[in-house]
Structure formats: structure tokens, C-alpha cells
Structure 1
Amino acid sequence: MSEWSFILRLNQPLTAEQANAFDHCDAFADGSVSYVLGPEHPSQFAVHTDPAELSELSCDIEALSFLDAVAQVARDIRLIPGLHAVSVRHDDTVTLGEAAQRCDRNEESLAALPGFPEPLPGPPGATVFYSWRKIAEFLRSIGDTVPETPRELAVADQVLRLAHELETLDVAPGTLRALGLPTGTP
């Protein structure tokens, strides 16, 4: 199994009640999924949280594939009343291992490439991070094929967006079947 890192966007920011349910849900007890909870009265604070972060989960999931990892969190988040996943993305900040996973190379071969991008600034002894955007640009410049969006990420994102849209529409089961989609009934 591999560990897959991604950001899962929710249909809404977590409320205090949903955060409490999340904190007490066995599916999230291992700490592999985290959230940012905004203050109850944001106008009373000098520093404001980015509103987008309040609707996102940071995920580091062990699974056989990226799609399996996304599906696991998307399924588990539905255990919290009122929440569901609406999209998924990769973060730009990556470790060398995450970068290697995204480009189907190993860490050693990446680090050995002449001109490989420098790590992002950070405190001595801390985990070393890189900009995925810079790594992808570099790899493309030396002839590697690195898609703007990895295929599994694009598929997972499209499926989550479609599922979210279908929840807001009244679509007949026959129409869903004709489109090749499950209807939830045998």
C-alpha cells in the first residue's frame, strides 16, 4: 500500500457540531484526515482564515491506489450529517516522495537530476518540501511527460463533482442507467 496525499473539498465549511462529530468518528480516529475550523465570530479576529480552507480536508491516506484513497474519505465523510465531498485536488507543496509518486520516478532519480529545483525554505532539521509546480515544469523541460493534472486526480475530481451535481437534481433512474451511472436500486 502507498500513502496518498490530497485535499478534499466539502460542500460547506464544518460547523462546530460537525467538527465535534468528526472528532468522535471512528473513521477519522487515526488522524489521517484533518480540517480547519473557523472562529464562531470571524470579524472579532485580526487574522482571518482563508474561507476556502474551511471547506477543505487535508488527507494522507494509505490505500492501494489514489482513487481508492479518495473514495475512502468521500465515503467516510458522509458519516457526518450534512457533509459530502464535492472535489479533490493536489497541494503544490510536496515531499520528495510525493513528487516521485506523482511522476512515476523514485526519489533517488529525482534528486540526482542536474538542475532539480531547490527545496522550499524551512527550518533546519524539518521535513523538506518542494513546489510540485516547479518540479513538473523542470521535468517537462527535460522531456518528461508530466500532465497538468494526473489522470486519476482528474477522474476522482470529475466523479465527485458529478455526484454533487446529481444530488441537487431529480434524475429518473432510467436516465441514470442510460448514462451508465448506478441508480442505487437493483
Structure 2
Amino acid sequence: MSEWSFILRLNQPLTAEQANAFDHCDAFADGSVSYVLGPEDPSQFAVHTDPAELSELSCDIEAPSLLDAVAQVAHDIRLIPGLRAVGVRHDDTVTLGEAAQRCDRSEESLAALPGFPEPLPGPPGATVFYSWREIAQHLRGLGDTIPETPRELAVADQALRLAHELESLEVPPGALRALGLPTA
């Protein structure tokens, strides 16, 4: 099995109660999913958290495929009252291993490419990160076919968005069947 890294978008920022439930939920005990919890009164802090981060989970999940990994976290997040997944995306910041996985190459072959993008600045001795956009652009320049969004990620994102929209509508079972969607 591979480890898949992605950002799962939630229907809302976690409340303190939801964060507590998350921290005590067996499904998240392995630390493969993390969150950012904003302060109760952000005006008291000099540095403000990006509001989008408060509605996202950072995920590093072992699964047979990216789609399986997203489905696993989307399912498990429903164990926390009031939360559900509404979308998924990749982060631009990647390790060389994550970049290799995204383009189906080895780390060694990426690093050996002439003109390969430089790592992002960081403290000495820390994990080395790269910009996925820069790597993808470089690979496209070499003739590789690198989609803007991997197909499995696009499918997962569309499915989560659709599920979220359908939960807020009264859709008759006949209409769901006609659209090729399950009715139960």
C-alpha cells in the first residue's frame, strides 16, 4: 500500500468540542489526519490563521489508491458530529517522494532531471520541500503529460461536492436513479 497526502475540505471549521471529539476518536488515533484549530478570539493574536485552513484536514493515509484514501477519511470524519467532507485538493508543497508518486516516477529519476526545480527555502536539516507546480511545469516542458489535477483526486472532489449538495436538497429517488446515483 502507498501513503497518499491530500487536503480534505470540511463543511465548517472545527469547534473546540469537535476538536476534542476528533482527538478522542479511535479512527484518528494514528495521527495520519491533523487539523488547525483557530483561537476563540482571533483579535487577541498578532498572527492570524488563514481561515481556509480552519476548514481543512491535512491527511497522510495508507491505502491502495488515492480514491480509497479520500473515501476512508471522508467516511471517518462523519464520526464527529456536525462534520462532513465537502471537497479534496492537493497541497502545492511536496516532498520529493510525494512528487514522484504524483507523476509516477522514482525520486531518483526526478532528482536526476537536468534543470530540476530547486527546493523551497527552509531551515538546514529540515525536511526538504518543493513546489509541485514548478515540478509539474518542468515535467510538461520535458514532454510528460501531467494533468492539472490527478483524475482520482478530481473524481473524489466532485463526488464529495455532489454528496454535500444532495444532502441539502429533497431529491426524489426516481431522479437519483435517472442520474445514475444510488437511492439509499
User: Which TM-score bucket, shorter chain as reference?
Assistant: over 0.9
User: Counterpart in 2 of 1:156?
Assistant: 156
Q: Give the unaligned 5+ runs of structure 1.
A: none
- In 2, the alpha carbon distance for the partners of 1:92 and 1:29 equals 26
Q: Which amino acid aligns with 2:83?
A: L
Moved more, 44-53 or 157-166: 44-53
User: Counterpart in 1 of 2:61?
Assistant: 61
Q: How far did 1:183 drift?
A: 1.2
User: Counterpart in 2 of 1:100?
Assistant: 100
- 1:25 equivalent to 2:61? Answer no
Moved more, 144-153 or 41-50: 41-50
Q: How far did 1:177 drift?
A: 1.2
- In 1, the alpha carbon distance for the partners of 2:174 and 2:25 equals 36
Q: How far did 1:100 drift?
A: 0.5
The alignment-based identity, stated in percent, is 90
Q: Which amino acid aligns with 2:66?
A: F
- In 1, the alpha carbon distance for the partners of 2:158 and 2:8 equals 13
Q: Specify the SS of the correspondent of 1:162.
A: helix
- In 1, the alpha carbon distance for the partners of 2:107 and 2:48 equals 37
User: Counterpart in 1 of 2:88?
Assistant: 88
CA deviations over 1:15-70 (Å, ceiling 9, x no partner): 00000000000000000000000011112222111100000000000000000000
User: Counterpart in 2 of 1:120?
Assistant: 120
- In 1, the alpha carbon distance for the partners of 2:149 and 2:50 equals 24
| TM-score of the superposed pair, with normalisation by structure 2 | 0.99
Q: Which amino acid aligns with 1:46?
A: A
Q: How far did 1:178 drift?
A: 1.3
- 1:78 equivalent to 2:78? Answer yes
Q: How far did 1:139 drift?
A: 0.3
- 1:111 equivalent to 2:101? Answer no
Q: How far did 1:174 drift?
A: 1.4
Q: Specify the SS of the correspondent of 1:4.
A: strand
Q: Specify the SS of the correspondent of 1:116.
A: coil
Q: Which amino acid aligns with 1:80?
A: I
CA deviations over 1:78-113 (Å, ceiling 9, x no partner): 000000000000000000110011001111111110
Q: Give the unaligned 5+ runs of structure 2.
A: none
Q: How far did 1:122 drift?
A: 1.2
Which runs of structure 1 show a deviation greater than 2 angstroms over 4 or more consecutive aligned residues?
none
